[in-house]
Amino acid sequence: MSKLLMIIIPMSLPKRLLKLRKGQGLTQQAMAEAIGIHVNSLKKYEAGQAQPSLEALKKIAVAMNVSTDYLLFEEHERGPSEDLVLQFEAISQFDEEDKELAHGLLEGLILKHQAKQSMLRQRK
């Protein structure tokens, strides 16, 4: 297993899998079948004895109707800060023309930031 995969998967993955399974009222066998993996693999994932491959994570996310971010990251590790969430909610109320304008502005700022970061890395 790659070291990168070991780093990005939090210790809470087993707890999340268990919570998902129990929340949907599934046995380990039923969840494994829904995902398309062997039940012994699921048992090891839930016990924290093994970590799923990226392909297995994708299957779990699709079958359980969650994002891979939900499986991999703690709530505070991903997503916008609270103030940005409120701003995005406000933008969601815009008409389509204003949404496109806001989207374009954000894309421009992101590209500017990425270019700046790239230049800083090149200087090092």
Tell me the whole-structure pTM to 2 decimals: 0.56
Q: Note the pLDDT tens digit of each residue in 68-124.
A: 888 888 777 777 777 888 898 999 999 999 999 999 999 999 999 999 999 888 887
> Which of 77, 95, 110 is a domain's end point?
77
- The reply to whether 71 and 91 lie within a common domain is no
Q: What CATH number is attached to the domain comprising 68? A: 1.10.260.40
Q: Could you tell me what percentage of the chain is helix, strand and coil, using 3-state DSSP and rounding each to the nearest 5? A: 75, 0, 25
Domain count across the chain: 2
* 62 lies in the same domain as 36: yes
d(C-alpha 63, C-alpha 60), whole Å: 5
* 64 shares its domain with 10: yes
In the predicted structure, residue 11 carries a pLDDT above the cut 60: no
Provide the domain limits for residue 105: 82-123
Q: Quick one: pLDDT at residue 86?
A: 87
Residue 124 is predicted with a pLDDT of 75
Confirm if 87 and 99 have CB atoms less than 8 A apart.
no
Q: How would residue 12 be classed by pLDDT, with cut points 50, 70 and 90?
A: confident
pLDDT at 4 over 60: no
Verify that 67 and 114 share a domain, yes or no.
no
Do 10 and 29 lie in one domain? The reply is yes
3-state SS assignment for residue 24: coil
Residues 88 and 72 in one domain: no
